[in-house]
Chains A and B, each alone.
Chain A
Amino acid sequence: MPDDMNATPEEPTRTSQSVPVADRRNLDADLVGIATEPGVPKKDPIVVATKITRTFGGLTAVDVEHLEIQRGVITALIGPNGAGKTTFFNLLTGFDQPDTGDWSFNGRSLKRVSASRVARLGMVRTFQLTKVLSKLTVLENMRLGASGQRGERFWAAPFRFLWSSEEDAITVRARELLGRFKLDAKEDDFAGSLSGGQRKLLEMARALMVGPELVMLDEPMAGVNPALKQSLLGHVKSLREDGMTVLFVEHDMDMVRDISDWVVVMAQGKVIAEGPPESIMADQRVIDAYLGAHHDTDITELEESVLAAEVEAELLADHDGDNR
């Protein structure tokens, strides 16, 4: 919930600057004093997942014992490639079915609930491999996102006067969001003509058109150019100020440190650590997990220690996305 009255006293327009750390901490007061053990209960969880497993053949892609996502804050989900983050997203949002487990959103169980229903309930996700509709224009992509349109009903659709004013209102909202995401100049272009980074932005903006309570972003920064990244960070933070909850997968540790209130670390399908960003970055288990991802190749002990240092640097120091 937007208990952020003292977080945005500055200007009416949002800037891309970071909210000062002191202010940010006010937002996640609920997270203060929570143990940093995997699966800890939160004060006001929006998502609660228990014993979720998903195997592909012999491979256990996801095996989450218990995880709660705090409402109204930005939670980062990190972990090496193949950790199961995307699969976990798919399971939570109904795009894939787990072998076992139960999970709820706003206290309502989502087991066997269809993906479209999950989205209508207010839990909207984006995809790691962007899914913009390349044969629609940017603006049409945005309009598609709006929920509960009268013109989407068969009997009303042929009669323009029944839905044109609603469409106009949707267009206003779409343009406002496109402006925020620096895509307003492209509104009449086919989405297929956008760059990879612009597609990411469009997908995120389109997800917001649905009016979600929880936004789940799978690698929103991949392929977005550094100049835009900064303003995108600002947008993600503004989502929280608007009262939304954000869960995002990201490899860019800068971004994770800068905007997340809480970090969940997955490795080999399991949640191995969670906590505030500062403590997670220094956590030996996390460093080991990232290192573990390199273990399948034969390496000597010397190389391993070099690698360990690299990984540590990757996690701790400033470093710009080496990963897609």
Chain B
Amino acid sequence: MDLISTPLHDAFSPYALSFVFAAMGLNVHYGYTGLLNFGQAAFAAVGAYAMGVAIASFDLPLILALIIGLAGAVLLALVMGVPTLRLRADYLAIVTIAVAEILRLIFSTSFKKYFHARDGVSGFTAGFRSINPFPEMPDGFLSFSRNDLWVMTVGWILVALVCLLVWALMRSPWGRILKSIREDEDAVRSLGKNVYSYKMQALVLGGLIGAVGGFIGGMGLASVQPDSFNTDFTFIAFTMLILGGAARVLSPAVGAVLFWALLSFLGVLLTKLSNGDNPIIPASFMSPDQVGNIRFAVVGLALMLLMIFRPQGIFGDKKEIAIDAR
């Protein structure tokens, strides 16, 4: 039974939610505008750390902590965008990946009084948990803790709101400009649009969405650690986006849920197959403690097949993908 319940549990968990937001942000950046942001982890990190430190170290109210987190994301977008958005696309990619790594190093080695190095920030969830309306749940088919349920409820409502916002924006003349920039900046410039300003707006919006993912992830795990925001975070979010299909409103959410479900399913399956006295998969081939890595390899293989046979992703329209995957 856990072949179904565990993947379902994981795919909607608070941890998966933080990736949904990261992927939704990347959808604005890359899917609609064509901006290659390889530092999406930094936006989630800034959101999570700003919220965590503001509450844990400075005792600020939750709302204020969230506002600081969002302001931090805007600032980060400006830091990344101001020097690069006038230049060729590759510069943004290089700068974002560098800024994200630098930030992660700062969080893990500096200002230990606030960031607590590798241990990370904790002790900031009380305020959020105190407004939890849910009673403790009885154990059932899908059992989430009361806290998880609260984070998930808020998280998925926010996902729906972000989807609504992205949908409303992308059908507007504003969205039309972003999609045009994705295809040919010079054409857009020749029509009198300030391309730089629109790229900056897109970078800020996608970054803000990523920071919300940081809030949700932090509340879900009740701690914020530097290593959860490494480059893998960004690339997994990209993978989810591409799995769902870039430049579609719902695809980041669907892609993220499917990705986690698949990963979790493989984990359970491979563990079952390689466990016990007489495992179906012999230990000489794969031991149970290798499951964690092998499942990533299998998911990678599945994604390669997807890119070959359906490069536009699950929902995507082939005519609209930014990079010609062919």
A residues touching B (Cβ–Cβ < 8 Å)? 93, 95, 114-117, 119-120, 124-127, 131-136, 140, 143-145, 147, 149, 151-154, 156-160, 163, 167, 190, 192, 206-207, 209-210
Contacts and interface: CB of A to CB of B under 8 A. Distances in A.
Given A135-B183, A136-B180, A93 B190 contact: yes
Interface of B: 165, 168-169, 171-177, 179-180, 183-184, 186-195, 201, 205, 319-320
A298 B193 CA distance: 48
SS class, residues of chain B in contact with chain A: helix
Contacts of B187: 127, 131-133
A114 B186 CA distance: 12
Contact of A157 (B175, B188, B190): B175
A157 B173 CA distance: 7
Contact of A133 (B171, B172, B184, B201): B184
B192 A154 contact: no
Given A157-B175, A160-B172, A116 B194 contact: yes
Contacts of B190: 93, 95, 115, 119, 124-127, 131, 207
A210 B192 contact: yes
Given A131-B184, A135-B319, A136-B179, A157 B172 contact: yes
B321 to A, nearest CB: 9
Contacts of B176: 136, 140, 143-144
26 contacts: A95-B189, A115-B190, A116-B195, A124-B190, A124-B191, A127-B187, A127-B190, A131-B187, A133-B179, A135-B320, A136-B176, A136-B180, A144-B177, A151-B172, A152-B174, A152-B177, A154-B201, A154-B205, A157-B169, A158-B168, A158-B172, A160-B168, A160-B171, A167-B173, A192-B319, A207-B190
A114 B194 CA distance: 9
A149 B186 contact: no
B73 to A, nearest CB: 16
B173 A143 contact: yes
Contact of B193 (A93, A152, A209): A152
A281 B188 CA distance: 37
A157 B169 CA distance: 6
A107 to B, nearest CB: 20
B191 A190 contact: no
B64 to A, nearest CB: 23
B315 to A, nearest CB: 16
A240 B205 CA distance: 43
